[in-house]
Amino acid sequence: MQNAEGRIRSGAILHSAFRILHSIAVPLILLALWEALSRAHIINPLILPAPSRVVVKWLDYARSGELPRDAVSSLYRVMMGFLIGTALALPLGLAMGASRRAYALLNPVLQVLRPIPPIAYVPLAILWFGLGNPPAFFLISLGAFFPVLMNTVAGVRSVDDIYIRAARNLGANNRALFFRVVVPAAMPHIMTGVRVGFGVAFIVVIVAEMIAVNDGLGYRILEAREYFWSDKIIAGMISIGILGLGIDALLARLSDHLLRWHRGLEPK
Q: Residue 21, Cβ neighbours under 10 Å: how many?
A: 10
Residue 140: closest CA among 81, 203, 188: 81
Give the pLDDT score at 2: 47
Give the pLDDT score at 6: 55
The residue extents of the domains of the chain are 1-43, 51-258
Give the pLDDT score at 266: 45
User: Architecture of domain 51-258 in CATH?
Assistant: Orthogonal Bundle (1.10)
Give the pLDDT score at 267: 44
- 159/179 Cα distance (integer angstroms): 13
- Kindly report, residue by residue over 96-155, the tens digit of the pLDDT: 988 889 999 999 999 999 999 888 998 899 889 888 889 999 999 999 999 999 999 998
- Kindly report, residue by residue over 6-36, the tens digit of the pLDDT: 555 665 666 666 777 777 778 888 888 888 8
Q: Residue 14, Cβ neighbours under 10 Å: how many?
A: 10
- 232/236 Cα distance (integer angstroms): 6
- Kindly report, residue by residue over 63-82, the tens digit of the pLDDT: 888 888 989 999 999 999 99
126, 68 Cβ separation under 8 angstroms? no
Give the pLDDT score at 149: 94
Residues 6+ apart with CB under 8 A from 200: 143, 144, 147
pTM for this predicted structure: 0.80
Strand locations in 152-262, DSSP E?
A: none
